[in-house]
Amino acid sequence: MIDINLIRTNPELVKENIRKKFQDEKLPLVDEVKNLDDEARKLKTEIDNLRAMRNNKSASIGSLMKQGKKDEANSIRAEVVDINKTIEDSETKLDSINARIKECMMRIPNIISPDTPIGKNDTENVEIARYLEPTKYDFDIPYHVDILENLGMLDLDSARRTSGQGFYYLIGDIARLHSAVLTYARDFMIDHGFTYVIPPYMIRRDVVAGVMSFTEMDDMMYKIEGEDLYLIGTSEHSMIGRFQGQIIDEAKLPITLTSYSPCFRKEKGAHGIEERGIYRIHQFEKQEMIVVCKPEDSEAWYDKMLNLTVELFVSMEIPVRKLECCSGDLADLKYRSCDVEAWSPRQKKYFEVGSCTNMTDAQARRLGIRYKTASGNKLAHTLNNTVVAPPRMLIALIENHLNADGSINIPKVLQPYMGGKTKIVKDSK
C-alpha cells in the first residue's frame, strides 16, 4: 500500500505507475481516493469544530445554572444534545469514507523501481546475468518423472489416490536428497549471518491481507473451514506477519532471518507437461530468507539476498541466471523483483526456481511495522527471497547431475548430508 500523500500531492505519478503495470482499470481509484480524502479531511475539520463548540457550550451550562438562568441552561443543553447527534452522524459517515479509502488504497499497486523494465507479462522479463556454463550431454535427458520412477523413488499414482492431482510421494535416497538440500540451505544461510526460524504454518486473514493483494490471496491461499486461518503459501507470510504492529528499536535493524516451512498453494489453472510431476504442486517445502531494514538499506540487501541464492545454486553445480521481472509481472505490493532460473538440460532452457523481492514499505504500511528513531517512528522496508524450494529445484539438480545409466551424482556440498554417498542409484530391493 502506498502513502496517501502521493495521491494528495502527485496523483499523476500514481496513475502513470498504474499504466506501467497495464492495470488501467484501476486508474479511477486514484481520483476516487483523492475526492474521498478531500471529503474526509473537510468532514474531520467540521467534526473538530463541532466538538469545540459543544465543549464551550457544555462549559457554560454550569455557570448559567449557578446564576439561576435555568431556562437558558436547558436551552443550551438541548443544543449540546443536537450537536452530539450531528457529531455521531458525521463520525459514522467519516468511518464509511475512510473504509472505502482503505479498500481502494489496498488495490492501488506499489510504486515500482525506476530500474524495472516495462512489459505486459513474464515473456518480457529481462535477463541480467548467467552463472556456470550448461553441461552438454551425449545422451537424451528423460522427463524428471521418468528418471525418478525408474529409480523407484517417486510415486505419483498413490498420491493421486490419497490426495489428488498435484501431490507426490518421494522415496528413499531422493527423499533424503530433498531433505539434504533444505538442511544444506539452512546451514548456508546461518553461515552468512541469518537467524534460523521455524514459523507458524497458518496465519489469520488480517496478516494475509497485510502481505499480499486480494487477487493473490484468492489464487493461492487455502482457507481453513470454520476458522480465521489460512495455510501459508510461503513462510514469508508468517515471518513478516510476526512484526505486525511492532515498533522495532533502530539498533536492532537489519533483522536477517532464514525460515523453513511447508508451503501450500492452490495453483489454479491448467498446466502443460513441464508443470506436472513435481514442478507445479499444491504442497512443497522451502527455505526462505527475510530482511526487515531501514529504507536506505533495502536496495543493498536486495542485491545481497539475490546473490546468496545464486551462490548457493552454483555451489551445487547448477547453472542459473537472473531475470529482472518486468512491470506487468510484478504483484501489486512489489517494488522490484528478480527471478532466479535454473538450466534444464532436457528442455534446453531455464525455468524458475526462486524469486527475490523488495517490497519497500508496502507490507510495513499495511501491517504497521515501524522502527523507532530519535526523530520519531518510521516505516521499515521488508524483503524476501527464496533460498531453495524443493522438490521443484530437484528437477534442475537431477537433470544437471544425471548419468547415462540413470544414476544421479550427488554434488560435493550435499554429500555430508547424504551420509557420504556420492551417487543415487536404483534401489535393488
* 342-389 per-position pLDDT tens digit: 999 999 999 999 999 999 999 999 999 999 999 999 999 999 999 999
How far is C-alpha 290 from the geometric centre of its chain's CA atoms?
10
Has domain 4-105 been given CATH number 1.10.287.40? yes
Average pLDDT over residues 242-257: 97
Residue-wise DSSP of 74-114: HHHHHHHHHHHHHHHHHHHHHHHHHHHHHHHHTTSPPPPPT
Selected from 3.20.20.70, 3.30.930.10, 3.30.450.20, 3.40.50.300, the CATH number assigned to the domain covering 122-424 reads 3.30.930.10
Judge whether residue 270 has pLDDT over 50. Answer: no
What pTM was computed for the model? 0.91
pLDDT of residue 132: 97
pLDDT of residue 271: 54
Average pLDDT over residues 261-268: 87
Judge whether residue 428 has pLDDT over 90. Answer: no
Structure-block grid coordinates of residue 213: 493483494
Question: Per this entry, what is the length of the chain?
Answer: 429
* 327-342 per-position pLDDT tens digit: 999 999 999 999 999 9
pLDDT of residue 348: 94
* 394-423 per-position pLDDT tens digit: 999 999 999 999 999 999 999 999 999 999
Judge whether residue 297 has pLDDT over 60. Answer: yes
| Confidence at 429, pLDDT banded by 50, 70, 90 | low
Contacts of 283 (CB under 8 A, 6+ apart): 166, 167, 262, 263, 264
Judge whether residue 273 has pLDDT over 60. Answer: no
pLDDT of residue 267: 76
User: Contact, 182 vs 339, CB < 8 A?
Assistant: no
Average pLDDT over residues 1-8: 94
Judge whether residue 112 has pLDDT over 80. Answer: yes
* 15-57 per-position pLDDT tens digit: 999 999 999 999 999 999 999 999 999 999 999 999 999 999 9
pLDDT of residue 272: 52
CA separation for the pair 172, 181 (Å, rounded): 15
Instruction: Give domain limits for the chain.
Output: 4-105, 122-424
CA distances from 144 to 78, 140, 141 (A): 81, 12, 8
Q: How many CA atoms lie within 13 A of 25 on its CB side?
A: 1
Q: Cis omega (within 30 of 0) on the bond before 254?
A: yes
Judge whether residue 275 has pLDDT over 70. Answer: no
DSSP for residue 216:
H
Decide whether 4-105 matches 122-424 in CATH topology.
Answer: no
* 123-166 per-position pLDDT tens digit: 999 999 999 999 889 999 999 999 999 999 999 999 999 998 88
| Confidence at 217, pLDDT banded by 50, 70, 90 | confident
Percentage of the chain lying above the pLDDT 90 cut: 87
